[in-house]
Structures are given as structure tokens and as C-alpha cells.
Amino acid sequence: MGVCDAIDRNCPLCGAEGTRQERSRKPSAMNAARLPKVAGISPLITPAAHTAAPPVRPVGQLAAVQDRLASWISDLTTLHELTERLVRTTTLDSALNELVQAGAALVGAPRGLAALEPTDHLGPDITVGLGLGRADLGAIETVPLGTARQTLLTTPGQASREGLDGIVHADLPHEPGLDPRLREVAACLGFDASYSLPLASDTAGHLGTAVWFYDEPAEPDGRRRHLAGLYCRYAAEHLARLLELARARTAVTTLRDELLPARLPRVPGVRLAARHRTGPRGGGDWYDALPLPEGAIGLGVGGVTGSGPGAVAAMCRLRASLRAYAVMEGEDPVAVLSDLELLLRLTEPARSATALFVYAEPGPRRIVLAGAGHCPPLILGSHRAEYIETTLSAPLGMLACWEAPSVEFDAAPGDTLLLYTDGLLHRTGDPMDRAFGRLHSAAAGAPRSVREDPDQLVDHVLHTMLPDGSDNADSPDDVVLLAARFE
């Protein structure tokens, strides 16, 4: 028996019989049915499974998805517009007003209030109302358990629901568990429902509360509460930044005011008045008036470069030094400014300053003055209004050796000497030549009764130069105006 016979006998699948069986199971390419040929497509390629047509979704489902997407886009657009308006506010009052108005539009309420009450009790405490007068806010403050804002936020009744989306009092007249005074105030002011949200920041903590009032039993739906919650969280962060800025400005202003004269001295033969307006960042403009030996008086105005606490501290050092030099050699204004310039150059070489010092003897009305890069003073009398042309000189700290001659003149009875800083001119927004002209016209146009009173005169000049409250505007420039009337 040969090898082939052994294979056929022991392994039928490998032998000829197996080969015949295998051929009988597999279709032959010659016997297989042929598919019709199509140009560009091989008839032997099996169609892939993923080419099956996707299931067709109902038209209603597609419409619902489109409506939901449109609603989300509308909400995002609304939040973007409202937050853009909010971020443009630069003061706490304006931000709170914008907050309560935007929130009222989001929750569909006609009235509301926003209260800023930081938990650190460092202030400021501010309350603004929408559709509520001062009397209405005062009535809400009479609710027990603290303020009405705290009552509405922290003592919800059984019908109220507290959560991340705020607190709802849907029916104040019939809600059990509320304080009777709250019901009385609600009935008096004519609101039957309220919705409140806390104002809390990650950095500053709890800042206050926003409350909106409805004229009839109602409550905002979930979508409105969600939008109002997102907006209030963003508003709280913006309020926290404004609060920090307001406190810093208040601290700088308070420090600056304490460093300037608390009251002007009383010297026979001369009456004084001063006005001072600080910029939002706190500048380095200053003024001073101090009695000197033999009945004389020293007047000074000036400013240092820069702003903020550093400029305020430099202003304090400069003013204190000038007082010391004035007491020792005040009758010579040039010597006073020369010593001041040397001190500034040795101790603060990176800083410069302007200054004007006046030595006056009220009895004979003799005036001697010198300036260092400062605006010329203005003398105002019954028949004249003119600038005292001081010799042009560089500011202190600008040159290796400062020197300028003094100017001496006699004032007539009833004359008023006006000293000021360049902030008074800059805040007008006009070029310097026009600003000088406006100052001259404002002083010369003062009525006789106003000229006789230095307090009225400085107010008149300020209001004429800076109308519409621009003397209190958030300008980077300080304003100093000092008037001395000689009897």
C-alpha cells in the first residue's frame, strides 16, 4: 500500500474522497450564479453593512430639538446682553440699579430691590429700589427679624421653597408662618408674591440680597429662575470687585483728608477758604495754610507725580517738609522751595513735584511768592482780575540745581488771591489756554457779594468751571482751590 492509499484510507477528508466532498460543499466559480455587471461596480463585492439607510426620525422630534436649541441660544444672548450692560457700570449704586432692573426683566416682576450688606460689616450698606420710593423702602425696613430683605430670604414659610434658585413666596397673604408685620407691609405696598436671590461671591462671601415683588400671587418658572440665578452669580462677582475698589478709594480719600488741614487758621486781616476734590485713584495734590511769626501767613499749593497711596504718602512728606522750611525761612519763598527741591532730589530722586509758596503780611498786605513749575495765581479785586506772572521755572526734582526769582506785590483792600492746581484746568477738558481763559472769566464774572466772601467765591468758581457736578466726577485729576481775601 502506497503513501497515497494510506492517506486516502486514514484521512478521508484529505484524500480524493475528501477532496470530492469539499468540492461538493463549495460552489464552483464556474457553476456559481453570476450577477449582472454594472459599470464601475464589481459584482463580487458584498455591500457593506453600514450602507444601510438610517432610521428616519419623526418630524416632531426634530422640531422639538430645534426649538430647544433656539431657546438655549436666546437665553445665552439675553444673558450676554445683560452682563455686558452690567460690566459697564463703575459704581456700586449704578451696578445695583442695573442688577435689580435686569433681574426684574428675567423673572417678570414689576418691582424689586437690591441691598448691599456685606457680612464683614465694613460697609458700605446700600439699598436701591425699582418701582419703590424711599417711603416704601422705609416701610420694608420695619419688618422684624432684621431687615425685610433678610426676612424674605432667610425665613421662608411652608409654601416657600428654598434652593439654589432662590426663595419663592408665591402667595404672601395666605402663606402660613409669616410675620404679621410682613403681611401688613405687603398689603400696604400692594405686592402678593416675592422671589429673592442671595448675592454671594467666592472671594467676598455674602454681599446682600435681591428681591423682586409681584402684584398678584405668582412665581417664576424654572427657566426664569435658572437665568436669574446665573445672572446674580455673575453680578455678585462684579459687585465684589466694585466693593473692593470703593473701599480702597475710601481709604485713600480718608487718609488724604486727614493729612490735609482739618481747618484753616484764623489770622487777623485775612479770610481763607479752600476746596479739595480727590480723583478716584487718589492723587498727590495738596494745599496748606499756616500762621508764621509776626502775624504773617504762609500759603502753599502743589502736587506730586503719580496717583494712589504712593502719591498720597509723597504728598504728605512734601507738605510736612514745606511747613518746616516755611517756619524757619518763610519770608523768603525762593529759599523755601530751594530747600524743598534739595530734599526731594536727595530722598526721592525718581519723583518730581510742582509747588507754589506765598508769604503774606496781612497788615500792610505785602505778598511775596515763588513757584516751581506751578500754575500762576490769580488776583481778583474790585477793578481787576489778572494772573500774577511768576517766572517760568521747572518742577522740583527735574533739574540738578533749581532756582527762580520771587515776585513781590501789594494787594489792595478787598483783593482775593486764588491759588489752584492744574487739575482744575484739566477737568474742564479744554486746551490749557482756553482753560486759563475760563478760570479768568469765572473769577471776573463773580457778583460783588460773592467776591466779598471767599467761601462763596471758591464755590462759584468751581461750579462755573466744572458745571453739572463734574467737580465730583471720576476724573484722574485732583482739584485744589485756595482763596485768601485781604481786608
Residue-level pLDDT, tens digit, the chain, 487 residues: 444 454 455 444 444 444 444 444 444 444 444 545 444 444 444 555 555 555 655 666 777 777 788 888 888 898 999 999 999 999 999 999 999 999 999 999 999 999 998 988 888 999 999 999 989 988 888 876 444 444 454 433 333 334 445 788 888 888 888 888 888 888 999 999 999 999 998 888 889 999 999 999 998 988 899 999 999 999 999 999 999 988 888 887 777 777 778 789 999 999 999 998 876 666 788 999 999 999 999 999 998 887 777 887 888 888 899 999 999 988 999 999 999 998 888 888 888 899 999 999 999 999 999 999 899 999 999 888 999 987 678 888 887 677 778 899 999 999 999 999 998 998 888 999 999 999 999 999 999 999 999 999 999 999 999 887 554 545 667 899 999 999 9
* Angle between the N-to-C axes of helices 92-107 and 59-87, in degrees from 0 to 180, rounded to the nearest 10: 160
Provide the 3-class DSSP secondary structure of residue 284.
Answer: strand
pLDDT for 284 equals 81
Instruction: Tell me the Cα Rg of the chain.
Output: 41
What is the distance between the alpha carbons of residues 149 and 132, in angstroms, rounded to a whole number? 14
pLDDT for 166 equals 79
Grid coordinates of 314:
509723597
What is the distance between the alpha carbons of residues 93 and 126, in angstroms, rounded to a whole number? 7
DSSP class per residue in 330-370 = TT-HHHHHHHHHHHHHHH-TT--EEEEEEEEETTTTEEEEE
Burial label, 109 (beta-carbon count in 10 A; 0-12, 13-18, 19+): buried
Q: Report the 10 Å Cβ neighbour count for 275.
A: 18
* 444 residue type, one letter: A
pLDDT for 360 equals 96
Judge whether 108 and 220 are in contact, CB under 8 Å: yes
pLDDT for 39 equals 44
DSSP strand E in 84-192: where?
111-116, 126-130, 161-163, 166-169
The DSSP code for 47 is P
CA dihedral 140, 146, 149, 152 (to 10 degrees): -100
Counting every residue, how long is the chain? 487
Provide the 3-class DSSP secondary structure of residue 303.
Answer: strand
What is the distance between the alpha carbons of residues 29 and 49, in angstroms, rounded to a whole number? 24
What is the distance between the alpha carbons of residues 425 and 461, in angstroms, rounded to a whole number? 12
DSSP class per residue in 169-198 = ES-GGG-TT--HHHHHHHHHHT--EEEEEE
What is the distance between the alpha carbons of residues 259 and 350, in angstroms, rounded to a whole number? 23
Could you tell me the maximum CA-CA distance found in the chain, to the nearest angstrom? 156
> Residue holding cell 484739566?
426
DSSP strand E in 222-332: where?
270-277, 283-291, 297-307
> Residue holding cell 455678585?
236
Contacts 24+ apart (CB under 8 A), 102-105: 102/231, 102/235, 103/197, 103/210, 103/212, 103/228, 103/231, 103/232, 104/130, 104/212
pLDDT for 405 equals 83
